[in-house]
Amino acid sequence: MSDRSQNRENPLGSQPINRLLVRFAVPSIIAMLVSALYNIVDQFYIGRSVGILGNAATNVAFPLTITCTAVSLMCGIGGAANFNLSMGRGKRDEAVRYAGNAIMLLFSIGVLLCLTVRLFLRPMMVLFGATPDVLDYSLTYTGITSLGFPFLILTTGGSNLIRADGSPRFSMLCTLTGAVLNTILDPLFIFTFHMGMAGAALATIIGQIISGIMVIAYLCRFKTVKLTLKALVPSPEHCRAILSLGMAPCFNQLAMMIVQIVMNNILRYYGAQSNYGSEIPLACAGIITKVNMIFFSLVIGLSQGLQPIVSFNYGAAKYKRVRESYLKAAVIATTISTCSFLCFQLFPRQIIRIFGSGSEEYYHFAEQYFRIFLFFTFLNGIQPITANFFTSIGKAKKGIFISLTRQILFLLPLIIILPMFFGIDGVMYSAPVADLTAAALAVVFMTREMRGMKGMQGVD
């Protein structure tokens, strides 16, 4: 059977785009949404047991969760994109090597990150913005959750490989199982066993370990190819290709981490000079960041579901299907973004109350933060979809640049500069400016790419 005949038989190259988006994007969205709920569930129960200091502590620890996601996406999406591009070109042996090398990268980096955090835990928490009152809570929480980092990274990254292999539902099931277990164990450990922050952290890592075991079990028996021990041996060539295509989503997450660290310290510094104090801005920002992550999980899940469709068809030179896939995903992402915008603008106090009670100053700051900081949320679906699109077609440099526009090029300088003139309110005003300019740049880059593809000849 010829490579071209194989490509025609592969559903990624033949089924209607709408059906493929439902098949791949819906499980991916659910998996990412469930992953975001890990943090939301902890925030919910900690807010109702420990209070504002506990919520602030999880915010301080959050950059490490972002780091895990960055590593996962770098190796997982990089491996999956190369896997699907190779399969689309009919190069099955190359596809196996990419899958095997991605697995080894996920495991190795996960263990290394765990050991690094264990060695430098206290200085990290101080660097990430912990105040003296918050420090002990953050040390307890992060000291335990760091033990689950290898499993968290393997689950999130491995799920991309499982989707690339044509099993999006099992990919979703892996994440869903751990999240459900975490949701059940959180109230048991926190309220029944009175374990507080330690209980929330323990429930989290138990769920991550179970999910990780499920991913490992699947990766030992790929559906479309046979994984060999030789494929697991790291190859500089294959690792470079994986990291190259995985850099865009990785840099996007690392940019979020850097912004989060800087923002925590800015909020701590300027909060102390305001009527709110340091702890209220830290706690509110932590909750709002996690709530916003629900929105982003929907968009990122959509972009991950789009990846195998775009990669395979681009590799098979079916450019009309590539264009159609992106445009439909962009419309869906904008619809999700608009719904999120309406929720953030209309119901900020109701959302913040889910995570525990507070003073009137606490609610006032949270409402302002929701409405101002997230004002251009309805535009925020375009940038991650576009960045991941360029990664999926093998154009890593464009993907990396677009992924860095909002967080590093625009938001980071603004959250440093604007508070100098407007105090703590300057943090809030920085995000709308960054969101608008990042979305505009993404549209410009994508318009040029679409025009280029229209002129390319391929098999449609």
Give the DSSP per-residue string, 327-375.
HHHHHHHHHHHHHHHHHHHH-HHHHHHTT----HHHHHHHHHIIIIITT
Tell me what pLDDT residue 459 has.
43
Which pair of tokens denotes residue 305?
Answer: 């579901």
Residues 6+ apart with CB under 8 A from 149: 64, 68, 110, 113, 114, 117
Tell me what pLDDT residue 95 has.
92
Please choose, from the candidates 254, 213, 259, 290, the residue with its C-alpha nearest in 3D space to the C-alpha of residue 69: 254
Please choose, from the candidates 393, 239, 371, the residue with its C-alpha nearest in 3D space to the C-alpha of residue 292: 371
Tell me what pLDDT residue 9 has.
61
Tell me what pLDDT residue 457 has.
53
| pTM score, whole prediction | 0.71
Q: Which long-range contacts (CB under 8 A, 24 or more apart) does 428-435 make?
A: 428/368, 428/369, 428/372, 428/373, 429/372, 430/373, 431/372, 431/373, 431/374, 431/375, 431/376, 432/372, 432/373, 432/375, 432/376, 434/406, 434/407, 434/410, 435/375, 435/376, 435/377, 435/379, 435/380, 435/406
Tell me what pLDDT residue 342 has.
93
Q: What is the largest CA-CA distance in the chain?
A: 72
Q: What is the residue-level pLDDT of the chain in tens, covering all 460 positions?
A: 444 444 446 788 888 898 998 888 888 788 777 777 766 777 788 878 888 888 788 888 888 988 998 899 899 989 998 998 898 888 899 999 999 999 999 999 999 999 999 999 999 999 888 889 999 999 999 999 999 999 999 998 999 899 889 898 898 899 889 988 988 999 999 999 999 899 999 999 999 999 999 999 999 888 888 888 899 999 999 999 999 888 877 877 788 788 888 888 888 888 888 888 888 888 888 788 878 878 888 888 898 888 889 988 888 888 889 999 999 999 999 999 999 999 999 998 888 888 777 788 888 888 988 899 999 989 988 988 998 899 888 888 888 898 888 888 899 999 999 999 988 889 889 999 999 999 999 999 999 988 888 777 544 4
Tell me what pLDDT residue 7 has.
45
